[in-house]
Amino acid sequence: MRKFFTLAEPIDMSNGFKDFFDTIGLTGGGLVTKGIAAVIAVIAVRMLLQLSNDPKGALRKGSMAIGTLFVAVVLALYGDTLFSTVTTAKQ
């Protein structure tokens, strides 16, 4: 007879998205920050792929694209920490 193995413990997600975000370790704001960083990274890669044949213009546009990609990486890594200081209000 077959014996079934439990791969994961069942989780009660009756509270909806809050439970889901708690299981993946993100808050709603953290997920939005990661999404914004992903969109900025896609824009930076698109900028890199559209470089012109002019060396001076390509250098300028390439450096802007690398800077944009750097901003996206910093936002993805530290965005939740950066924005937590803005959204935490003292009473």
pLDDT digit string, tens, across residues 32-46: 778 888 899 999 889
> What is the pLDDT, as a whole number, of residue 21?
65
Burial category of 56 from C-beta neighbours within 10 Å (exposed 0-12, middle 13-18, buried 19 and up): exposed
Could you tell me the two tokens for 17?
């998205």
> How much is the average pLDDT of 50-72?
87
> What is the pLDDT, as a whole number, of residue 76?
82
Contact partners, residue 19, CB within 8 Å, separation at least 6: 11, 12, 13
Q: Does residue 17 have a pLDDT over 80? A: no
Residue 54's pLDDT band (cuts 50, 70, 90): confident
SS3 10: coil
Could you tell me the two tokens for 32?
């939005």
* Predicted structure pTM score: 0.59
